[in-house]
Structure 1
Amino acid sequence: MAQSAKTSTPTWHRLAQPSDRLRAQWVRGDDRTHWVACGRAWDAVAISPIAHGLDALVAMRVGPRRGYPVLADHLRDQLYVLVPPGTGHAAAGLPGVRILGDGFQLLMPAGQHGSPVAHWVSPPRESAPPLIRPDRLTHHLRALARDHQKAATS
């Protein structure tokens, strides 16, 4: 009996891992990056390490196919989650978190592939992409920090 091929939904963690093909494109320099001002259309919540931010997105149960703009800087091991402008401060003070709002700039891919320091984990799919709710992101980052701290003291 033949079984139909089932397409699986990509996970945040799988999307964040650059493929060999993508790495080859980065080496060839097929795509470029540019600086974009934060605080106008969005703030960026920088989360380090990348896995911690990905775990928060998974816990939030937001799907990558929705078009939430999320970037990875693989050299610095940071994930950038875009939130509405003026709201990033909700996550301020959390371990491994920096807020990039008005007065900051973020390196972004100028095309589809970017570079090792500006890689779209989830590229925006529309001109006004949905942005992650900072209160939910902060809640899940706090919960993950508590779980990590609890595990370290056990």
Structure 2
Amino acid sequence: MTDHRVAQWRTAPCGSGWVPCGRDWDAVAISPVLRGLNALTALRLSPRRGYPVLADHIGGVLYVMVPPGTGHLAAGVPGVRVLSTGAEVVVPWGPQGSPGAHWVSPPREDPPPLVRADKLGEVLRRLDADSSPARRAAS
């Protein structure tokens, strides 16, 4: 989060609203934000490609949108929560968003490309294993 972005949030008319999960996409909530960004980097998914990814800088959560009904494929990873039918996510209305709902990668197409939940889960597990104390001690 840059000083420029914070200044935009303070001065831009912005808003957000609740959007249901499970219809157009499921959301995989990853804590902390940097861990989720590292996973997207490992998957080589650039923010410029239009995969919908939201950051909640207040709560420290990154929300990665995956195809509806597939979020469970990323479940079971510590620090990961899956939001599907019956859940909602706060989405920014304007391009600037807010500290609680900011597009890290705004959707650019309709429908937008979605991250594969199975691949996201795999890379999170791999990153966790690579950063485990036992693994670091062995290297």
Q: Tell me the TM-score normalized by structure 1.
A: 0.84
The aligned counterpart of 2:17 is: 34
The aligned counterpart of 1:134 is: 117
Residue from 47, 54, 65 that aligns with 1:64 = 47
**Residue 37 of structure 1, CA deviation:** 0.4
Alignment CA distance shift 1:132-1:23 (3 Å): same
Residue from 51, 60, 63 that aligns with 1:77 = 60
Q: Contact 1:44/1:101 (CA < 8 Å) preserved in 2?
A: yes
Q: Tell me the TM-score normalized by structure 2.
A: 0.93
Alignment CA distance shift 1:34-1:142 (3 Å): same
**Residue 27 of structure 1, CA deviation:** 2.1
Q: Does 1:113 align with 2:96?
A: yes
CA RMSD of aligned residues (A): 1.4
Opposite residue 86 of structure 1, the aligned amino acid is: G
Residue from 85, 89, 96 that aligns with 2:72 = 89
**Residue 57 of structure 1, CA deviation:** 0.6
In structure 2, runs of 5+ residues without a counterpart are none
Opposite residue 21 of structure 2, the aligned amino acid is: C
- Distance in 1, Cα, partners of 2:4 & 2:132: 37
Opposite residue 24 of structure 1, the aligned amino acid is: A
Aligned residues: 137
SS at match of 1:135: helix
Q: Does 1:45 align with 2:28?
A: yes
- Distance in 2, Cα, partners of 1:151 & 1:51: 22
- Distance in 1, Cα, partners of 2:120 & 2:6: 29
The aligned counterpart of 1:13 is: none
Percent of residue pairs identical: 57
Q: Contact 1:25/1:31 (CA < 8 Å) preserved in 2?
A: no
Q: Deviations over 1:117-147 (max 9, x none)?
A: 1000000001200000111111100001111
Tell me which structure has the larger Cα radius of gyration: 1
Q: Contact 2:24/2:67 (CA < 8 Å) preserved in 1?
A: yes
**Residue 91 of structure 1, CA deviation:** 1.0
